[in-house]
Amino acid sequence: MIDKYEINRSLAINLLRTREAVMDRFRPMLASAKLTEQQWRVLRGLSEHGATDAGKLASIACILPQSLSRIAKNFEEKQLIKMETDSNDARKIILSLTNNGEVLMKGATVESKKIYAKLIEDFGENNLADLLDKLDLLRNSLGKE
């Protein structure tokens, strides 16, 4: 039964395999920084957005709030982030990088940009723009954002 419904042709699997192929280029960098993909996205979100409450940060980093809760506790113990209660809303926790966290991200970000630049060079800037457009279109077609 080899048709467009077959597993190797399915959209979800192709998105997964392609993402894995992309991440393979970043894994050495992450391994040398001793960070998981999710931890990297959290620190990157804080680095780009500055102090952010947990809910927004989870959304930015594309992880569940429950996962961020665990990651944040871990990072606070390692003194990579600070956790403070929002003075306007005691339910919210504001996260921000410590100096240690910023130092860690400085180096990793330089490395990450090099890898991404090489990826764009290999894939082609136009191909990348087209692909990102198609992905946006698909998400819109599915009624999400």
| Binding residues for its own copies (CB under 8 A) | 1, 4-26, 41, 44-45, 48, 60-62, 112-113, 116, 119-120, 122-124, 127-128, 130-132, 134-139, 141-142, 144
Neighbours of 109 (CB within 10 A): 14
Judge whether 22 and 119 are in contact, CB under 8 Å. Answer: yes
> Coil, strand, or helix at residue 93?
strand
Q: What residues between 1 and 60 interact with DNA by CB under 7 A?
A: 23, 27, 31, 36-39, 53-55, 58
Judge whether 19 and 58 are in contact, CB under 8 Å. Answer: no
With CB under 7 A as the contact rule, which of the stretches 71-79, 98-106, 116-124, 127-135 interacts with DNA? 71-79
Q: Choose from DNA, its own copies, none: what does 77 bind? Cβ within 5-8 Å by kind.
A: none
Q: How far is CA 81 from CA 29, 32, 42, 77, 140, in A?
A: 21, 20, 10, 9, 35
Q: Between 78 and 113, name the residue whose CB sits nearer to its own copies.
A: 113
Judge whether 29 and 115 are in contact, CB under 8 Å. Answer: yes
The least CB distance from residue 28 to its own copies, in Å, is 14
Q: Choose from its own copies, DNA, none: what does 70 bind? Cβ within 5-8 Å by kind.
A: DNA
